[in-house]
Amino acid sequence: MQKEEKEQLIVSHKTYNKSNELINAMGKGTALSQKLFAIGMQHIEIDDTNNVVATIYGPELRKMFKSSSGSLYEHIEALCDRQVKGSTIFDWNLLMKDKENGKIEAHQVVTDASFKNGTLTLRYNNSLTDKIVNLKKGYTVLSLSETLSLKSVYSLRLYEMLLSAYDRKAYITKEDGVQVFDYDLTELKLDLGVINSGGSKEIKNELAKDYPDYDKIEEIAEKLGQTKYKEYKIFNRNVLSKTKEELNKKTCLEVDYDPIKSGRKTVGIRFFVNKKGVAVTKEKATPANKDEIFDEIIQLLMGDFKVKEIREIAEIAEYDIEKIRKAYEYMQSYNKEIEVPIAFMKECIKNEYYLNKAKPKKPGSNNSFMNFEQRTDYDFEALEKMLVDN
């Protein structure tokens, strides 16, 4: 076996852990900043100011830049100096929401960089230290070779997001095969960094709400000049289609997607994700850790439902807490009095009404929630009456 083949084999078996908070935070970054993070996680330490410091040596830099000879200086200069290149590693910014404590945080991830004797040293924001190292839970194991193989920053972001979502759902349900994940279109653009806060307090304030008005966010972003991929057909052609092709070719994921429509308008994306080599099973496995998951569901619903009713909701949702959360948020924002909440929740989960119809405004609310076109084929009042009569 040649030396190069050995090195490729070693890299192919290397992994790194990344916090799901970092993976799922909104923000923007470059493909290079993501790859440097992946490489840097192989050689990290915490300095006396509680900053994570990553060291990347010359041979690793040469492989990444595909530079077999000459000085690395020009590559590093472009990495750090906006005058040389428009975007740099310092443009990796995160917007993190903390609904429980009612706050939203914005962070520049890389704070300092130095290059000396052929070695690059990166220092990360000390506010993120506990989200980078010593992770005990809430993280995803990523492949170093797969990360380094991806060219598009959108492919890198979606690779992390979908793998994180897949592993979490597979762990909870113990289901093999294809998993389904739905994303609101504007929220997906925010997650991928196509749209970002751009320093706008209005966008940050809107995102801090329980039900952000994504139409409003798009309007603000457009005023800030963020009009890239505004039309779905362009976003689909230049981002989704290319990302799907790259992920299927270079990673462990098999990805497909469909648009979620309201009338003629595309309002979301439904991803179908599987891991290569994982067979699709027809029968669903019994959810693991039911008691632990049920505790989370109780905390979510206890104010409006009895324990017996919560158990019914959990069973019909197959202990999918995200599905329950979406249905509960939909119910809370419904604009009419709901006479039988348990019946409403069960029908909402079973038929996924929250995906096909707008979250109606609460009385006095100005939140349009994406201006979904209202469907007329679901009569909740009739459904509730029917269920009560039965």
Give pLDDT tens digits for 223-245: 888 778 888 899 999 999 999 99
Task: Report residue 123's pLDDT band, with 50, 70 and 90 as the boundaries.
Answer: very high
Residues 240 and 360 in one domain: no
Lowest-pLDDT range of 6-15, 236-245, 262-271: 6-15
Residues 301 and 277 in one domain: no
Q: What is the CATH number of the domain that holds 255?
A: 1.10.10.10
Whether 100 shows a pLDDT value over 80: the answer reads: no
- Predicted local confidence at residue 381, as pLDDT: 53
State the residue for tokens 């917007």.
Answer: 95
Residues 133 and 155 in one domain: no
Asked, for residue 224, whether it belongs to a domain, the answer is: no
- Predicted local confidence at residue 194, as pLDDT: 87
Q: Are 21 and 138 in contact (CB under 8 A)?
A: yes
The neighbouring-strand residues paired with 246 are: none
Whether 156 shows a pLDDT value over 50: the answer reads: yes
**DSSP-assigned states of every residue in 44-97:** EEE-TTS-EEEEE-HHHHHHHHT--SS-SHHHHHHHH-TTTSSS-GGG-EEEEE
| Cα separation of the two ends of the chain | 72
- Mean pLDDT score, 237-257: 94
Whether 281 shows a pLDDT value over 60: the answer reads: no
Whether 11 shows a pLDDT value over 60: the answer reads: no
Give the helix, strand, coil percentages of the chain, each rounded to 5: 45, 20, 35
Asked, for residue 45, whether it belongs to a domain, the answer is: yes
Asked, for residue 216, whether it belongs to a domain, the answer is: no
Task: Report residue 379's pLDDT band, with 50, 70 and 90 as the boundaries.
Answer: low
* 117 or 13, higher pLDDT: 117
Residues 235, 217: Cα–Cα separation, whole Å: 17
Whether 162 shows a pLDDT value over 80: the answer reads: yes
Residues 85 and 181 in one domain: no
- Mean pLDDT score, 333-347: 86
Structural domain range at position 262: 151-194+229-285
- Predicted local confidence at residue 69, as pLDDT: 66
- Predicted local confidence at residue 117, as pLDDT: 86
Asked, for residue 221, whether it belongs to a domain, the answer is: no
In the chain, what percentage of residues exceed pLDDT 70?
81
Domain boundary among the residues 261, 285, 309 is at 285
Radius of gyration over every alpha carbon of the chain, rounded to an integer in angstroms: 23
What does the block give as tokens for 390? Answer: 């039965």
Name the 3-class secondary structure at 300: helix
**DSSP-assigned states of every residue in 317-370:** TTT-HHHHHHHHHHHHT-SS--S-HHHHHHHHHHHTHHHHS--PPPTT----GG
Lowest-pLDDT range of 164-173, 257-266, 270-279, 351-360: 351-360
The neighbouring-strand residues paired with 184 are: 268
Residues 110 and 238 in one domain: no
Task: Report residue 13's pLDDT band, with 50, 70 and 90 as the boundaries.
Answer: low
Domain boundary among the residues 240, 269, 285 is at 285
Residues 249 and 325 in one domain: no
Q: Are 262 and 158 in contact (CB under 8 A)?
A: no
Residues 42, 26: Cα–Cα separation, whole Å: 25
- Give the other-Cβ count within 10 Å of 220's Cβ: 19
Number of structural domains in the chain? 3
Whether 318 shows a pLDDT value over 50: the answer reads: yes
Whether 308 shows a pLDDT value over 70: the answer reads: yes
Asked, for residue 34, whether it belongs to a domain, the answer is: yes
- In this structure, the dihedral spanned by the alpha carbons of residues 40, 104, 166 and 64, taken in order and rounded to 10 degrees, is -20
Residues 185 and 300 in one domain: no
pLDDT averaged over every residue in the chain: 80
Asked, for residue 219, whether it belongs to a domain, the answer is: no
- Predicted local confidence at residue 193, as pLDDT: 86
Residues 216, 366: Cα–Cα separation, whole Å: 10
Residues 380, 344: Cα–Cα separation, whole Å: 7
Residues 125 and 162 in one domain: no
Give pLDDT tens digits for 22-43: 888 887 788 888 888 988 888 8
Give the ranges where 176-320 is alpha helix by DSSP (H).
Answer: 185-192, 201-207, 214-223, 232-235, 241-250, 290-301, 307-316
Residues 251 and 307 in one domain: no
Asked, for residue 203, whether it belongs to a domain, the answer is: no
Give pLDDT tens digits for 55-90: 998 888 888 777 776 678 888 888 888 777 667 888
- Give the other-Cβ count within 10 Å of 321's Cβ: 17
- Predicted local confidence at residue 388, as pLDDT: 47
- Predicted local confidence at residue 285, as pLDDT: 35
Domain boundary among the residues 149, 179, 208 is at 149
Residues 154, 25: Cα–Cα separation, whole Å: 14
Residues 272 and 303 in one domain: no
Residues 244 and 358 in one domain: no
Asked, for residue 222, whether it belongs to a domain, the answer is: no
Residues 99 and 131 in one domain: yes
